[in-house]
Structure 1
């Protein structure tokens, strides 16, 4: 009897264990399958032009709960995020965010660069084989043809058999054309001048959709031609310098760089809409237009994931004019925070809270105004290349008998005429080294590298690593110059960017929404990691030139 009971008990136990095990396995498989299918209805990729990481921390206490703070507290904050290449400028920045690689691979080595194959200067998004849509000007002659690889949105379009929709929006043409990738359904940018319209290119369409034409005639642009006052009491802006100082530029018609800004050009509602870009209202009209696109294009409304690329450009215009320590830059970010809250609220309403994924980063950082740094007894200064032109010309004539050995100087790169070098029976490598040593003797130069060094070595850290990631063998120059930290070639007011220095490379990276963990990391992440992370989240192919890697701690 005891034996029988024991046998029955063991039989029942084993049976129950098997059921539990099978049930567990089935549940696990269901969870895995669900996880694979759990993709957002919409991805929103946000690039804030010229946003240093410390704009998050400096102004944090002034932000509302629904913008930057919401993304940080409900999402994931990569605190040690950097560009891993130079030059750090708008065209390369937007390309690198969306392609998951650097200029060495995607080919966008600057906003403009010297095309050594065709002996001409080219613009990163310029393409005169297309015409403007929405304006009679040539401002729409644009396409992404100079970008040599795919973007994350291109891969999403291919993955969904082109059913997933991609719309790209920015004040700047390059801020829309490049993030949109090669397959975007549309890219729109703001043409100021005396029109104040959102326009496009025949690369995307033959005419503007009705909703865009309606937006252009709605009076939205005119509504932002108004005085710029601070969104909060200016006396509370203790995180920035004095309102009236010598480090800031002036709006046309103003005698002091102080609030309120109410110049005639800013108030005139009939012309000069370009001025909107240099105020926080440029970001506001960008948010307005993006929210309208969200609705009218029905983004995130079906089973195929869509992609909305937004670039907020006014932050760059304001930073260039007023500098990173200005009341104007602080007010611009507080207003941008409010615009982000409006955008997230619209996404909650139209797509559904928890049904979309957002990432936010920047295309580059910015340097403190060198005159301000010098007044604070910090090493800094300005470079005037005209003052060394004679000295360098004398060197070329003495060394080689001609100045024509140098074809172009741009983006801190020297391009040599290889045909002349060959005719003079000289060695290119030696000429590169000779010129590098000459420039290394100039006071404002920190270090110099040659194209041969970029070809022959594989750098893994520091400035040479950053330069090499920005060096494209077919497009970059023969000698690469690096200015001393805090030194720039720019006017005496306002901030700029472009260097491999940390103030230009350290930028925010926030992830928020579906599939994203809550948390933060101080481990180093790099800009090319963004596109692979989103690709991994979506379960799609990485962009064709991707060199970054998914940030695993971000993903659920």
Structure 2
């Protein structure tokens, strides 16, 4: 086995002194060790790719790629955009902003009505408490809360990685790398020994296996890159006046930022790395080591690698999509994207590799920005509205806790109390739906009964129907007016009433250079990959292969 840690002394010195600027030397050393020769061939393959690389970038929007394109190099994001099939308007058609639901839409080719994960949590009527979609089990949580195992959600259908694993009888390697373990839970089958995330207590990359990490991963950890990063500061990469946030010159000077990477919390000393450019650098270097030492894409069985990057900064305040910190992370992330593409080009070959770039955006304009520009906006509080609704129902039906719970624009009624009082469920649903239409900020309401007995083909009701899962979903659903946000535990969360289109890009392998401006459904990704890999589609898949990619 070839371990990348046998680096030339000058490379180690440069990496330690200038991690943000010169860590590309790391890749040069990797390629030097393997004796890779760069090829300029434009070979068009006829067989399935040997490696599929998912690049999921949290909070990336299509507007970012277009607005900042002149700041990116020609070999990073711009290479994907210009040489790949770029869908500008990827749509998840989901009623929740939860990333896990969106990821499962991609990997299962189905909606929450099939895979079952309707959000980060839902109300469990039998236990009369909130039930989380997944959680992280740490046996020694008081000392190392990130050291443990991911408890996967109860999915009701297979994913593309499940089908790949079954079809090739475990011969395909399915790997995933992230700074946080939670998001790794929503991609289906993963090899435990090849599933890695950052331990915020130790600064080491750890996996989901009870056994020790591979030797190459231990040697990577022994380089203590995370220790180097928390000694540094994060400030703007260029003049603040060049950032989009400050294109309008006002009387006030640009808001400068300079963040220390050290975290005061002794339990999570490496926490800030996750929401900084250093986190993406750390992942890039680790991914390079994984690809080379695990020899991904080197045999006749196709492998799958998921890399969860981010452009969402750790700042503890409400954020907007063109904040200077987010733009700075994206400009720096462009270098990591370029490095990953170059490594794969030289080690596996682009003709044997299919890149799939996607995102899970949820950040838009803040209410104060909309109000300042005379755009209708407001703040909605679901918990307070739930209490108000319960008062209304008590005025009709008498004392009692008629509303058992609320979560993610869904109201859950107390079925036990309804049975005791012999009150018809559909009746109370309709009365509550009509009442809530009078509440400020609520645009539409629909009951679970109507979602079950009717078929909606367009609009928000269609989205609620596609995301309705009996036994987990609520009894009554609402949508907010455009521009409104929901207040959750004191924080502001931009609602999906602002249309969040995600970029979707296929690059490498046999993909043509195409720009697609029409909306595309993200559930079409899984059947597209199944067609390309020549394996069965996930068993709950309702998407269709994207013709621009598979033809």
Please classify the TM superposition score into its range, dividing by the shorter chain length.
Answer: 0.7 to 0.9
Question: Does residue 479 in structure 1 map to residue 476 in structure 2?
Answer: yes
Alignment of 1:370-389 (within 5 A): 370-385=367-382, 388=385
Q: Is the Cα contact below 8 Å between 2:86 and 2:504 reproduced in 1?
A: yes
3-state SS of paired residue (1:508): strand
Question: Does residue 521 in structure 1 map to residue 516 in structure 2?
Answer: yes
* Higher mean C-alpha displacement, 40-49 vs 288-297: 288-297
Aligned position for 2:50 = 41
Judged with a 3 Å threshold, the aligned counterparts in structure 2 of structure 1 residues 414 and 105 are, in CA distance, closer, same or farther, namely same
Displacement of 1:43 in angstroms is 0.1
Displacement of 1:169 in angstroms is 1.4
TM-score (norm: length of structure 1): 0.84
Aligned position for 1:201 = 208
Q: In structure 1, which of residues 345, 355, 360 is the aligned counterpart of residue 357 of structure 2?
A: 360
Aligned position for 1:339 = 336
Judged with a 3 Å threshold, the aligned counterparts in structure 2 of structure 1 residues 149 and 270 are, in CA distance, closer, same or farther, namely closer
Q: In structure 2, which of residues 163, 172, 175 is the aligned counterpart of residue 167 of structure 1?
A: 175
Aligned position for 1:555 = 550
Displacement of 1:218 in angstroms is 1.9
Distance 1:371 1:73 in 2: 36
Q: Is the Cα contact below 8 Å between 1:92 and 1:108 reproduced in 2?
A: yes
Judged with a 3 Å threshold, the aligned counterparts in structure 2 of structure 1 residues 122 and 147 are, in CA distance, closer, same or farther, namely same
Q: Is the Cα contact below 8 Å between 1:318 and 1:329 reproduced in 2?
A: no
Aligned position for 1:272 = 269
3-state SS of paired residue (1:324): coil
Question: Does residue 98 in structure 1 map to residue 104 in structure 2?
Answer: no
Distance 1:35 1:316 in 2: 39
Alignment of 1:149-548 (within 5 A): 149-181=157-189, 186-192=194-200, 194-202=201-209, 205-225=210-230, 226-238=232-244, 258-263=255-260, 265=262, 272-315=269-312, 317=314, 321-385=318-382, 388=385, 391-490=388-487, 496-499=493-496, 501-504=497-500, 506-548=501-543
3-state SS of paired residue (1:80): strand
Aligned position for 1:27 = none
Matched length: 507
* Higher mean C-alpha displacement, 532-541 vs 364-373: 364-373
Q: Is the Cα contact below 8 Å between 2:486 and 2:495 reproduced in 1?
A: no
Displacement of 1:491 in angstroms is 7.9
Distance 2:349 2:120 in 1: 37
* Higher mean C-alpha displacement, 412-421 vs 138-147: 138-147
Q: Is the Cα contact below 8 Å between 1:124 and 1:174 reproduced in 2?
A: no
Aligned position for 2:119 = 110
Displacement of 1:90 in angstroms is 1.1
Q: Is the Cα contact below 8 Å between 1:52 and 1:365 reproduced in 2?
A: no
RMSD: 3.1
3-state SS of paired residue (1:323): coil
The superposition leaves residues 485-540 of structure 1 with CA deviations (integer Å, 9 ceiling, x where unpaired) of 111124899974452x3533x11000001021221212221110111111111111
Distance 2:315 2:166 in 1: 38
Q: In structure 1, which of residues 148, 158, 179 is the aligned counterpart of residue 156 of structure 2?
A: 148
Q: Is the Cα contact below 8 Å between 1:237 and 1:327 reproduced in 2?
A: yes
Distance 1:227 1:396 in 2: 55
3-state SS of paired residue (2:135): coil
3-state SS of paired residue (1:485): coil
Aligned position for 1:13 = none
Judged with a 3 Å threshold, the aligned counterparts in structure 2 of structure 1 residues 306 and 495 are, in CA distance, closer, same or farther, namely farther
Displacement of 1:183 in angstroms is 5.9
Query: Which entry has the higher C-alpha Rg, 1 or 2?
Result: 1
Distance 2:294 2:457 in 1: 44
Distance 1:493 1:419 in 2: 31
